[in-house]
Structure 1
Amino acid sequence: MNETMMLPVEHRGTAYEFPLTIVTLGYTYQLHVQIEGKTLIFEMDDQHQYRVLSQAGDVKEVNKSLVEAIVSTLQSL
């Protein structure tokens, strides 16, 4: 079951909330975050750090420092 919740993120002194959906895939999961009309897919790598997987060009269209702030927030959970 995929559930959607709001992910609070602080970026450059502004508080944001982005819809976050946890998608289970067998023994692992992905975090789908809606940002500026795009879906960015976050997945934990072998070093237990989140990396971004997405459709072609989606990450490039989103502010890089905002993506870094989201990764930082996810790491702190």
Structure 2
Amino acid sequence: MDEGFGIPVTYKGKELLFPASLVSFGWTHRIEVDVNGTKVSYERDENREWRALISPEDLEGHPNVDVQLLVAIGESIEEILKN
């Protein structure tokens, strides 16, 4: 499945919308989000919370992607899936 959708996020007082898609891997899945030109994958961790998967090099090389933004996107994914 490669259906596109948007992830709305409120971050630093701004309303942002990040393009995303659901990617299936056998019995599990990830959500791939385009964060200002950087692909970040989200998957559930052992606590069933959404975590971002991105290499430290990718994070350092893109000043428009910071850890707090990635956390906010994960929280938004969780809220969307609760409804």
Q: Would you call these one fold, judging by a TM-score over 0.5?
A: yes
Structure holding more strand per residue: 1
In the alignment, structure 1 segments of 5+ residues that lack a partner are none
Name the TM-score, length of structure 1 as normaliser. 0.88
Name the TM-score, length of structure 2 as normaliser. 0.83
Aligned-partner SS, 1:47: coil
In the alignment, structure 2 segments of 5+ residues that lack a partner are none
Structure holding more helix per residue: 2
Q: CA RMSD in A?
A: 1.4
Deviation at 1:12, TM superposition (A): 1.2
Question: 1:1-77 residue pairs with structure 2 within 5 A?
Answer: 1-55=1-55, 57-60=57-60, 61=62, 62-77=65-80
Deviation at 1:4, TM superposition (A): 0.7
Aligned length in residues: 77
Q: Distance in 2 between matches of 1:26 and 1:4?
A: 19
Deviation at 1:58, TM superposition (A): 2.1
Q: Deviations over 1:18-65 (max 9, x none)?
A: 001100111110000001110000000121011111355223431221
